[in-house]
Amino acid sequence: MVVMPESVTLSQRSDVIEVLEIDNEFAAASISLWGAHMLSFEPKHDSRERLWVSETARFDGSKSIRGGIPVCWPWFGSRDDDLQAHGYARKRYWRVINASDEPLFTEITLELTDTAGKGFEGSASLLLTIRVGDSLSVSLSTENTGDTAFTYNGALHTYFDVLDINHTELQGLSGDYSDKTQNWAILPTPEPYRFSEETDRIHLNPVGRVSIAQGDGKTTVDSVGHDSLVVWNPWTKRSADLVDMADDGYLGMLCVETAVTQGKTLEPGEVHVLEQTIS
């Protein structure tokens, strides 16, 4: 049993979901142990919540939590078979293997207790290391613990809180993207990058930094270990169709996801880290 440092407390969000609450000199944050799912991050230097969670999100374990940072693993998106979209890591229990207060952040490491599942043939160890300081860094480490190679996909599927999607601009992307709403057509990144319709895009030029510019400030998103950045907003119709999103829920969120969508192959003993830092 890991002893929690001074800044961390454990609370019960529902019958099935326990949440680690972090409150240190730099920020407040919360993480559901079910899914290793970040639910909030509010740095104290500007008191601006960075993560959006749907007001109708389910916390009963029946669905992945709508909002925050779902951990998609060991695949991304939907599949041709019946298996659930975005893999199973976001719907399983993780355990705390380390928690410490460091000079500039609180560090928590969670481990997925059981990484095996239908649709994934490999043997893997999966860790999520979270650093809550002036910025938030979330680092997903996949290790091949078996004796044959495997290929995985995944994402840190972050829902950013925005004041109004109609007045939000995404900066820093360039090159082509593949558009899910247009049968995966390859199209050039718009400039300026603004939102006025359903947006579901895999950007294939994996830049390291993008920014979300909006009325009350800019949010910077740094990514490492990715081969793509996914940008999603369901807009009016899909928002209304989703049982765990209010009809106008799309107005206050924008997903910018640090992702591996092209398949990352790991040889036995190899480790791959996918990381997103939000400031």
**Catalytic amino acids?**
157, 257
Q: Read out DSSP for 24-68?
A: -SSEEEEEETBTTEEEEEEETTTT---B-B-TT---SSSS--SBS
Nearest to 279 by CA among 234, 212, 227: 212
Output the smallest distance, CB 108 to ligand TA6, in A.
23
Q: What's phi and psi for 66, nearest 5 deg?
A: -80, 100
Give the nearer residue to ligand TA6 in terms of CB position, either 143 or 200: 200
Residue 177 in the binding site for ligand TA6 (CB under 6 A): no
Q: Which long-range contacts (CB under 8 A, 24 or more apart) does 198-201 make?
A: 198/233, 198/234, 198/235, 198/237, 198/238, 199/231, 199/232, 199/233, 199/235, 200/231, 200/232, 200/234, 201/177, 201/230, 201/231, 201/232
For residues 52-88, b (16+ Cβ closer than 10 Å) or e, as one string?
bbbeebebeeeebbbbbbbbbbbbbbeeeeeebebbb
Nearest to 197 by CA among 171, 162, 233: 233
Give the nearer residue to ligand TA6 in terms of CB position, either 114 or 241: 241
Tell whether omega for the bond before 43 is within 30 degrees of 0, i.e. cis. no
Chain-centroid distance of CA 207 in Å reads: 17
Residue 77 in the binding site for ligand TA6 (CB under 6 A): yes
Q: Which of residues 190-209 bind ligand TA6 (CB under 6 A)?
A: 200
Site string for ligand TA6, 218-257 (x = CB under 6 A): ------------x-x------------------------x
Residue 117 in the binding site for ligand TA6 (CB under 6 A): no
Site string for ligand TA6, 119-158 (x = CB under 6 A): --------------------------------------x-
Q: Residue from 7, 24, 64, 135 that binds ligand TA6 (CB under 6 A)?
A: 64
Please identify which residue in the block is written with the tokens 């002893």.
3
Give the count of beta carbons closer than 10 Å to the beta carbon of residue 161.
Answer: 20
Residue 85 in the binding site for ligand TA6 (CB under 6 A): yes
Give the nearer residue to ligand TA6 in terms of CB position, either 105 or 160: 160
Q: Residue from 13, 58, 180, 194 that binds ligand TA6 (CB under 6 A)?
A: 180
Output the smallest distance, CB 273 to ligand TA6, in A.
20
Q: Which of residues 91-110 bind ligand TA6 (CB under 6 A)?
A: none
Q: Are 144 and 124 in contact (CB under 8 A)?
A: yes
Give the nearer residue to ligand TA6 in terms of CB position, either 26 or 75: 75
Q: Residue from 86, 91, 92, 203 that binds ligand TA6 (CB under 6 A)?
A: 86
Residue type, 229: L
Give the nearer residue to ligand TA6 in terms of CB position, either 66 or 264: 66
Output the smallest distance, CB 113 to ligand TA6, in A.
22
Interface contacts to ligand TA6, rule CB under 6 A: 64, 77, 85-86, 157, 180, 200, 230, 232, 257
